[in-house]
Chains A and B, each alone.
Chain A
């Protein structure tokens, strides 16, 4: 996958994003599949597999295997669709998911600061936008008021505990 931001750098990796259940892929490939396809996957294949979630995904389907998942992707059909932010927080804070959380879809520079605060660790920047320039988006804000995944102590507590 191209145009990826991971560990504060532009990078590539071997994961192949499969958008539709009709798309074919090799048995040895590492693939990110639609949730339904991932749930129905042949366990005998040799490549790794991970699900991507639509914004209205039912997280309970993932919970039994959450600890074994190397990667979960959450799709943003439009950057203005904010449901994925809540899904990310639920996975991180309520269900304790520790693996890679990847934002896919309409992911751009101006959303990166917030996406990282709610627990995303990898950002698949939209193909037509340079990931290098988008990197700056991670540095838009040096602090935030709220309790977040990155900073569970809200600012008001850090203020009064000084």
Chain B
């Protein structure tokens, strides 16, 4: 994991003091509401339905056990004993008092954390594959570049007041688990034919009101040019992105208006001046950052020890959990464990202070003191020995972390919705719960197999509903909450935007619509065919007919 040096510490402390003074001036009436808003948003502070909401950055989803304990302390001391993991690998606290936020930030700074640029029209937290560095299918570990991008984007003087928010995601694996095609910039770490490492650069993806899959503007960017090229893209966007209409202000609209080819050409023109400039990365620079992301002291283990294989055969519940909630590891004898935060009855992504402490202890006891946050809003123990899995599962069960539903229909990606968020048109949490209750039979759920279900409470699409195999969007109809269902969306290598199947549903009718969709899938699927594959093969029509058929 990256460790702050004196300068990193100093800059974060200076940002805390700057924000403390901004808060003081706001409370003293020296800054108006309108003036304070962009300043507080740039430090992750929203004013929500009930209270302020503070979003804390978890850079590319990496978290140490010490940091997680600090988050638990903050949840207990300044909030109501819980936090909420977001779809961009950050954590939100829903109940802090405005005047105490500077103190929270000062506490975070002690453990190398902050809320810098977790909101606002600036470059946001860089995200990546939650399994970076441990995944069996990884080509290249992109985390050194994530940290380089994090530092470049932090307090960037030229790009603090962009037309709109700006999100960058990095992927280094065969299977894109970072949703890079729906980010403002998606970077794939790749090798060219000469064995040189570089990036494929994708721009203009995004969800929200105008969901678009990003376009590749450069097939291969040598890594040394990463920052000068990012400067070029951001400068073109900063200068020419629309500022007259916030719904047309994302880079995707600029790319679409200019055409991807013309946008790419404009970036190349700008870059021609910046290329090989002072921000060009040298080998020693990259090596410096890569030195923080070396392998921990893995033991040389044989695969499938008896302590693992015996309970795997004798305990069906354990076997189910292993199948769904653990993943293969690059190191033989280890697996990564996904601690599910999708227990029925608990808002997706919510985690209690007690759970945080427990997970931090397991990270120390069974791993190397590190955890990851997945963009699917689950927590990950990246390095667990196979021989420890049975014990970890039992502990996780005791703490409500072991719902064996990772990747299944009830592993719903979900925004906080109308219960908390002032932007939302509709509540998401009770509807997600109703779906989880409808599909509470584990055997049936397992039989349905891999299904991404994504849920957003409004058009802003924080729950990424467009890229759910089955998506739900909360809409407002004359002051009532209604829900639109989309099918056919997907993330990863085959990113696609889902299509609306028809008129929206009242809250009580959503689970029934889901049931009809799943019934049709089970009837229609070919052997081994996943839900999304069936949807792609037979199209939306049969689903529409089934869902909207008049009862016989």
Q: Which of B122-171 contact A (CB under 8 A)?
A: 148, 151-152, 154-162
Q: Say yes or no: B156 contacts A159, CB within 8 Å.
A: no
Give the interface residue-count category, chain B: 35 or more
Q: Say yes or no: B155 contacts A159, CB within 8 Å.
A: no
Q: Say yes or no: B152 contacts A146, CB within 8 Å.
A: yes
Which of B21, B155, B227 has a CB less than 8 Å from the CB of A141?
Answer: B155
B235 at the interface (CB under 8 A from A): yes
Q: How far is the CB of B308 from chain A (nearest CB, A)?
A: 43
A27 at the interface (CB under 8 A from B): no
Given contacts A86-B235, A108-B35, A140-B18, contact A145 B155 (CB under 8 A): yes
- Chain B residues with CB under 8 Å of A152's CB are 278
Sample (17) of A-B pairs whose CB atoms are under 8 Å apart: A56-B239, A82-B121, A82-B238, A89-B158, A110-B39, A141-B155, A142-B10, A144-B155, A145-B152, A146-B279, A147-B277, A148-B157, A153-B278, A155-B7, A157-B278, A159-B288, A160-B282
In the complex, what distance in Å separates the CA atom of A57 from the CA atom of B284?
40
Q: Say yes or no: B14 contacts A80, CB within 8 Å.
A: no
A79 at the interface (CB under 8 A from B): yes
A12 at the interface (CB under 8 A from B): no
Chain B residue at smallest Cβ distance from A83: B239
Convert A52-87 into 0s and 1s, putting 1 for each residue whose CB lies closer than 8 angstroms to a CB of B: 000010000000000000000000000111110111
- Chain A residues with CB under 8 Å of B5's CB are 159
Q: A118-B157, A156-B288 are in contact. List 5 more A-B contacts (CB 8 A).
A: A82-B162, A85-B157, A117-B157, A141-B11, A148-B157
- Chain B residues with CB under 8 Å of A159's CB are 5, 7, 288
- Chain A residues with CB under 8 Å of B285's CB are 156-157, 160
A47 at the interface (CB under 8 A from B): no
Q: How far is the CB of B468 from chain A (nearest CB, A)?
A: 33
Q: Say yes or no: A142 contacts B14, CB within 8 Å.
A: yes
- Chain A residues with CB under 8 Å of B10's CB are 142-143
Q: How far is the CB of A83 from chain B (nearest CB, A)?
A: 6
Q: Say yes or no: B155 contacts A160, CB within 8 Å.
A: no
In the complex, what distance in Å separates the CA atom of A145 from the CA atom of B15?
13
In the complex, what distance in Å separates the CA atom of A5 from the CA atom of B5?
33
In the complex, what distance in Å separates the CA atom of A118 from the CA atom of B39?
19
In the complex, what distance in Å separates the CA atom of A7 from the CA atom of B428?
54
Convert A72-108 into 0s and 1s, putting 1 for each residue whose CB lies closer than 8 angstroms to a CB of B: 0000000111110111010000100000000000001
Q: How far is the CB of B523 from chain A (nearest CB, A)?
A: 54
Convert B84-126 into 0s and 1s, putting 1 for each residue whose CB lies closer than 8 angstroms to a CB of A: 0000000000000000000000000000000000000100000
- Chain A residues with CB under 8 Å of B239's CB are 56, 83, 86-87
- Chain B residues with CB under 8 Å of A81's CB are 161, 243
What 4 A-B pairs have minimum CB-CB distances, sorted nearest first? A82-B161, A114-B157, A117-B157, A147-B278
In the complex, what distance in Å separates the CA atom of A147 from the CA atom of B152?
9
- Chain A residues with CB under 8 Å of B281's CB are 156
In the complex, what distance in Å separates the CA atom of A117 from the CA atom of B159?
12
In the complex, what distance in Å separates the CA atom of A110 from the CA atom of B154?
16
Q: Which of B416-442 contact A (CB under 8 A)?
A: none
Q: How far is the CB of B269 from chain A (nearest CB, A)?
A: 12
Which of B11, B121, B288 has a CB less than 8 Å from the CB of A160?
Answer: B288
Q: How far is the CB of A125 from chain B (nearest CB, A)?
A: 13
Using a CB–CB distance below 8 Å, which chain B residues touch chain A?
A: 5, 7, 10-11, 14-15, 18, 21-22, 35, 38-39, 121, 148, 151-152, 154-162, 227, 235, 238-239, 243, 273, 277-279, 281-282, 284-285, 288-289
Q: Say yes or no: A80 contacts B278, CB within 8 Å.
A: no
Chain A residue at smallest Cβ distance from B161: A82
In the complex, what distance in Å separates the CA atom of A31 from the CA atom of B5?
48
Chain B CB within 10 Å — which of A108, A115, A141 has the most?
Answer: A141
Which of B18, B148, B157, B159 has a CB less than 8 Å from the CB of A156?
Answer: B148
- Chain B residues with CB under 8 Å of A148's CB are 157
Q: Say yes or no: B278 contacts A154, CB within 8 Å.
A: yes
Chain B CB within 10 Å — which of A80, A81, A152 has the most?
Answer: A80
Given contacts A80-B38, A82-B238, A83-B238, contact A146 B156 (CB under 8 A): yes
Given contacts A86-B238, A142-B14, A146-B156, contact A160 B284 (CB under 8 A): yes
In the complex, what distance in Å separates the CA atom of A152 from the CA atom of B152?
13
Q: Say yes or no: B157 contacts A80, CB within 8 Å.
A: no
Given contacts A80-B121, A160-B288, contact A86 B7 (CB under 8 A): no
- Chain A residues with CB under 8 Å of B38's CB are 79-80
Which of B18, B243, B279 has a CB less than 8 Å from the CB of A147?
Answer: B279
- Chain B residues with CB under 8 Å of A113's CB are 157
Given contacts A140-B18, A154-B278, A159-B288, contact A85 B238 (CB under 8 A): yes
- Chain A residues with CB under 8 Å of B279's CB are 146-147, 154
- Chain B residues with CB under 8 Å of A56's CB are 239
In the complex, what distance in Å separates the CA atom of A13 from the CA atom of B278?
36
Chain A residue at smallest Cβ distance from B288: A160
Q: How far is the CB of A160 from chain B (nearest CB, A)?
A: 5
In the complex, what distance in Å separates the CA atom of A113 from the CA atom of B227?
22
Q: Say yes or no: B11 contacts A156, CB within 8 Å.
A: no
Q: Say yes or no: B288 contacts A85, CB within 8 Å.
A: no
Q: How far is the CB of B490 from chain A (nearest CB, A)?
A: 35
Q: Say yes or no: A143 contacts B282, CB within 8 Å.
A: no
- Chain A residues with CB under 8 Å of B151's CB are 145, 155-156
Which of A79, A87, A142 has a CB less than 8 Å from the CB of B161?
Answer: A79
Q: How far is the CB of A48 from chain B (nearest CB, A)?
A: 29
- Chain B residues with CB under 8 Å of A86's CB are 158, 235, 238-239
Chain B CB within 10 Å — which of A86, A108, A140, A153 has the most?
Answer: A86
- Chain B residues with CB under 8 Å of A156's CB are 148, 151, 281, 285, 288-289
In the complex, what distance in Å separates the CA atom of A114 from the CA atom of B239?
17
- Chain B residues with CB under 8 Å of A117's CB are 157
Convert A112-127 into 0s and 1s, putting 1 for each residue whose CB lies closer than 8 angstroms to a CB of B: 0111011000000000
Chain A CB within 10 Å — which of B15, B161, B279 has the most?
Answer: B161
In the complex, what distance in Å separates the CA atom of A140 from the CA atom of B159?
17
- Chain A residues with CB under 8 Å of B7's CB are 143, 155, 159
In the complex, what distance in Å separates the CA atom of A82 from the CA atom of B162?
6
Chain A residue at smallest Cβ distance from B151: A145
- Chain B residues with CB under 8 Å of A153's CB are 278
In the complex, what distance in Å separates the CA atom of A115 from the CA atom of B157?
7
Convert A37-53 into 0s and 1s, putting 1 for each residue whose CB lies closer than 8 angstroms to a CB of B: 00000000000000000
